[in-house]
Amino acid sequence: MTHLLSALGEADTPFRVLGAALFAFLFVRALQTAEIRPLRSPRWLLARVSLTAAAGLVLVAALNYLVNPLGMYAPRIFEPIVLHSRAEKMRLYRAAQPPPEIVVLGSSSSFTMSPTYIRERTGQVAFNASLHGGVPEDYLAFLRYMESLGKLPKILVVPMSVEQVRPDLPTGFEPHNPLRPYLEREPRSVLADLRRLMTLEQTRASLRLLVAERWGRPPPHYRFDHDGWAHFVDSGASLDTIVDSYLATKEWSAGLYKFRDLDETQMVYFRRFLELARDLGVKVIVYVPPLHPRAVAFYERETNLPALRTQLLEQLRAWETGGLIAGLHDFTRVESFGGNASQFHDLAHPTAEASRRMLDVIFGPRPARS
Amino acid sequence: MLFPSHLFLFGFLPVVVAVYWVLAPRARRWWLLAASAVFYGWADWRFLLLLGGMTALSFLATTHLMGRESLAARRLGLALALGNLVILGVFKYYDLFATTLDALATRNGLEPMASVLHLALPLGISFYTFNLLSYSLDVYRQRAAPASSLPDLLRYASFFPTVTSGPLMRWSDFSAQMETDGRPEAARIEQGVFSFSLGLGKKLVIADWIAQVIDPLWANPAALGVWGAWLAVVGYHFRLYFDFSGYCDMAVGLGHFLGIQVPANFRAPYTARTITEFWHRWHITLSTWFRDYLFFPLTRFLLRRAGDRYTAWTRPLSLVLTMSLTGFWHGPSWTYLVWGTYQGVLLAIHAQTRSRRRPWPAWVGRSFTTLALLLGWGLFRSGSMSMAGSLYASMFGLRGWGPAPTSILGVDAGFLLLLAGLFILTNLPRDVPDLRPRREWGYAVALGAFLVIALLCVGQPSPFLYFQF
């Protein structure tokens, strides 16, 4: 989802080129105005500019409303271009029977935590409720959602990484976020929805959706089973190439960990999530998810990640000491759970095998078979 | 509140302008003051108190002390008015001096001497302080009449089109225009729409596009090769101009909507053939402010003190000192001071040599001026001297050529075309404040379409560069 939106965010060159070309035209033509005696009145020009601008904005708004690329408005002529992991996971959890006893909350980094394997290991029914770009506020919201259904698990397994508590992290970015009512966020504003009808982001998304409808949609990156487990679709590229291309992007390059302090808002959400879990009698096991070893080396060399990780771990340990966390594991390095560099789909998404190894550590040694 | 925000464009602006012209002239002035207070206080009402306090200080100094016959009272008034400069200094520079002092003390094995205050810099404080100072100095020199009431002066200091980032206005120009009771003129509204639309587009369509590409390069200059470093600097060269001049065009346009002529701040600065000419075309209201209130008095003072033997050195020295302070005005960083000194040295060299040689051909002059500016922007944009050093090392090949420009994220054919186009446009002889729209169908549709594209870009998170100054 993050990558899809960021791809959308960067595909704006045609708009900008058109804008710059119009600016050049207006500027150069106006250079010659001084020599020309205007035949028309200023009102003539004002009326036409206003009319063009108003008509343009109405057209754009109508296009965005009808195409509805982000699934924010009533029309459903086309399937929205964005992924809806929150809605899908909520639906799957509501339908899950028997009620799960162990739930993995988290982000896409924990998509491959297999509920089937957890059941094999523990004998308890499990569910993977990890969400695209999941952050602590999503954990709190999803726990409240589970409570509202009367389907609380006994154990929650949650990843907590520095990336999830960075200050500039966009949160709640699934535009049609059904978890929103479970947070104390401001209610959805009609004015804000109207405003978003006239944004470049939405217009680009509309055009991309229409193009996708005409020439075919790209295959999804992953699909979810009924227990919430995600299957990543193999891109065909080598892991090294994928890691290189990630590190070359704006989102994942050295700028990712350049900040000095963890985001206080998300840290508070996490504490509140832990306190609610304690009050509801749900045990929480926290782990710091792994990064590809090349990424770890790069970030440790180029960024503030080591200090930030220490900051995060110190806080988590304090909560563990305070009884809010039942178990804490730092899996940043693959050696910590017996994994290796090949067990990644990309820079930050471990494979199912790596996830199995982490679950082995979390739930203790596998019982010897008789 | 930002100009390029939905709240401003679709709420604040239409309401303020419509009501402004419906009201009687007297009520109109109160309405403008109220609108400016809402605009300025939107982010943090406490800043409004500071603005009000500093304005009241200037009012008190000019009306109660400078109006007296006694020289001592007038000087006391001047000292009081200059108190605003102290307030600016505390908010803007105290922490820089404190951290520098502490660093020096620590290096010499001493305990830190000053505690850092971490004061938030009030929006536009550099601009309205300078407006208030020019008002006070003009009254002191009896070049302008003092404000007849505090609301009049408040209206000047808080005038919402210019309060956050200029252009700087002179009290006499502003007050004279406020006293006229004119009706809205279609020609001025037309000019306002033209200027505001082009300014909005300059900022949102062009400057922000460049920023998207070059900001990641500036994040780590040590990682850049020759291509990347020069791309970062050239991109910044255009970004800074389109960002700030775009803001100023909007301010000029807003002034037209309210019947106030806001002075032009840019007149095709990149066409300058010398650094002196550049400073006549770039951030004009700031350079004229420093010229009138610092350079001229300082030169006169030095001429009086230096004697005949050193007369030749007074002008260059004044230039370097004035430009150093101009640079430092931009922010609490030593890089700005060094950048200002660099500009001052260039101006002094030009001033000393121009009478002794024939003028260069225009293209040679422009090339040298552009090169000098690019080198200066490297310093101006860098957050520290070490960052600037790192950038220059990359620019001059100490880290190799680096990846080709087209392999840098965001640099595609469209972006290169943009840079080429901007190079041509910025070398054309006139700037937006001197242009008039054409009353033709094609032109009207293009202006409307450009406005739509600019409005679609509203809401992207990118503050104006000059808000930090």
Q: Strand A283-288 and strand A327-330: pairing?
A: parallel
B188's tokens:
């001025």
Give residue A253's domain range: 85-190+220-362
Alpha carbon distance B34, B188 (integer Å): 23
**A46 vs B189: CB contact, 8 Å cut-off?**
yes
Nearest CB to A16: which of B205, B439, B459? B205
Cα distance between residue A253 and residue B276, in whole Å = 41
Would you tell me how many other CB atoms lie within 10 Å of the CB of residue B301? 12
CB-based contact A112:A232 (threshold 8 Å): yes
**DSSP H helices in B42-163:** 45-60, 71-81, 83-107, 125-140, 150-157
Alpha carbons within 13 A on the beta-carbon side of B167:
30
Contact across the interface for B450 and A40, Cβ inside 8 Å: no
According to the model, what pLDDT value does residue B157 have? 97
pLDDT at A234 over 80: no
Partners of residue B417 in chain A, C-beta under 8 Å: 17
State residue A71's pLDDT score: 72
- Kindly state whether residue A228 falls inside one of the protein's structural domains: yes
Specify whether B237 is catalytic.
Answer: no
The full set of domain ranges for chain B reads: 16-183, 187-468
Residue A62 lies in a domain: no
Q: Is residue A182 part of a domain?
A: yes
pLDDT tens track for A335-344: 999 999 999 9
Q: Give me the pLDDT at residue A220, please.
A: 64
Cβ contacts (< 8 Å) between A38 and chain B: which residues? Answer: 438-439
Tell whether the torsion through CA atoms of A363, A365, A369 and A370 is positive or negative. negative
Residue A273 included in any domain: yes
pLDDT over threshold 70, residue B34: yes
Distance CA B469, CA B465 (A): 8
Sign (positive or negative) of CA dihedral B391, B392, B393, B399: positive
Secondary structure letter of residue B10 according to DSSP: I
pLDDT reported for residue A1 = 37
- Residues 392-431 of chain B with CB under 8 A from chain A are 409-410, 412, 414-415, 417-418, 421, 425, 428-430
pLDDT at B120: 84
Domains: count for chain A: 1
Of these ranges, A212-216, B31-35, B363-367, the one predicted with the greatest mean pLDDT is B31-35
Q: Say yes or no for a CB contact (<8 Å) between B438 and A32.
A: yes
Which residues, in sequence order, are bridge partners of residue A223?
Answer: A231
| Residue A247 backbone class (left: φ over 0; alpha: ψ -120 to 50; beta: rest) | alpha
Q: Is the CB of A30 less than 8 angstroms away from the CB of B438?
A: yes
- Residues B393-407: tens digit of each pLDDT: 999 999 888 888 877
Contact A203 B456 (CB under 8 A): yes
What are the phi and psi torsion angles at A130 (to 5°)? Answer: -65, 145
Nearest CA in chain B to A34: B436
Buried b (16+ CB within 10 A) or exposed e, A152-175: bbebbbbbbbbbbbbeeeebbebb
Instruction: Specify the CATH number for the domain of residue A243.
Output: 3.40.50.1110
What does the pLDDT look like over B413-453, one tens digit per residue?
888 999 999 999 999 989 999 999 999 999 999 999 999 99
Complex ipTM, two decimals? 0.91
Please say whether the beta carbons of B380 and B326 come within 8 A.
no
Quick one: pLDDT at residue A274? 96
Q: Are B295 and B317 in contact (CB under 8 A)?
A: no
As given in the structure block, the two tokens for residue B242 are 């389109």
Q: Tokens for A360?
A: 């082995």
Q: Is residue A245 part of a domain?
A: yes
Most B CBs within 10 Å, among A23, A195, A246, A302, to test the B interface: A23
